[in-house]
Amino acid sequence: PLVAILLAPTLVQAQSPCDQFTFFASSVYYFPRQETNIFPVTVGTVAAFDCAVNPTTWPYSIPASQTAANSLFAIDSNGVITTRTVLDFESPLLINGRIDFVVEVRTGANPPPFTQVTVALSDVNDNPPAFQGTLPYNFLVPETSGSVPTNGTLAGTFTVRD
């Protein structure tokens, strides 16, 4: 019997992120922090890579359209995110003490590579209670038949907001 073997050229391509473009080490960065009255504070660091280029610094940025994030945070050429002001859980710029924003790295690509950043604050009791109404509070406890009120007798009420 006659056996024929046909050989055809085959191209196999292996792809890695390095073959494609600049990429971030993570697609989402999550930085839990405690609210603080100190600044600047380092929140965290993002990192972008490009195997074809070995830059000493990257032009990281928070897009101008992200006004709340830009008013709260700065990012340097090493990807280090720091606070521009105090981080307050009750800030109107945060939703339940949390803010989500984008960080880009300028490489000439359009659109630029980006990653999602979340900063989540834990609430600290940093606001003293506020007494409602006119101070001082005066309560009159009437004598009844010459007896002294017993322990637990309600003398009055007031409201405190915390």
Which pLDDT value is given to residue 81? Answer: 97
Quote the CA–CA distance of 66 and 84 in Å, as a whole number: 14
| Cβ pair 71, 84 in contact under 8 A | yes
pLDDT tens-digit profile of 113-148? 899 999 999 988 877 777 787 778 887 776 665 566
Which pLDDT value is given to residue 48? Answer: 87
Which has the higher per-residue pLDDT, 37 or 40? 40
Write out the DSSP string of 27-63.
SEEEEEEE-BS--S-EEEE--EE-TT---S---EE--
Quote the CA–CA distance of 46 and 27 in Å, as a whole number: 10
Strand partners, 120: 32, 98
Tokens of 141: 């406890």
pTM: 0.67
Which pLDDT value is given to residue 112? Answer: 83
Quote the CA–CA distance of 84 and 29 in Å, as a whole number: 19
Quote the CA–CA distance of 84 and 41 in Å, as a whole number: 8
pLDDT tens-digit profile of 67-95? 999 999 999 988 999 999 999 998 999 99
Q: Which residues contact 151 (CB under 8 A, 6 or more apart)?
A: none
Which pLDDT value is given to residue 41? Answer: 92
Which pLDDT value is given to residue 148? Answer: 65
**Mean predicted lDDT score pLDDT of the chain:** 81
